[in-house]
Amino acid sequence: MNGVKARKQNTSAVNGEVPRKDLNGSANGHVSRDGHAASATRSTENIFLFYPNIIGYSRIILAIASLYYMPLHPRTCSILYSVSCLLDALDGVAARYFQQSTKFGAVLDMVTDRCTTACLLVFLASAFPRWSILFQGLISLDLASHYMHMYATLSMGGSGQSHKKVDEARTGRLLYLYYNNKNVLFAVCALNELFFIALYLLSFSSPTLSPSLLAGDHNTPSSAQPGSPSFVAAALLATPGSAWAMELARANKMDSTFPWFIAAVSSPVMALKQYLNVVQLLEASKWLAEGDIETRRLEGLPKRGR
Q: How far apart are CA 7 and CA 2, in angstroms?
A: 9
Q: Which of 97, 95, 119, 122 lies closest to 108, judged by CA?
A: 95
Q: Is the dihedral of CA 237, 241, 245, 247 positive or negative?
A: negative
Concerning whether 142 is annotated as a catalytic residue, the answer is: no
Selecting among 91, 113, 142, 292, the annotated active-site residue is 113
Contacting residues for 18 by C-beta, under 8 A, at least 6 apart: 12
Residues in the chain: 306
Residues tagged active-site? 113
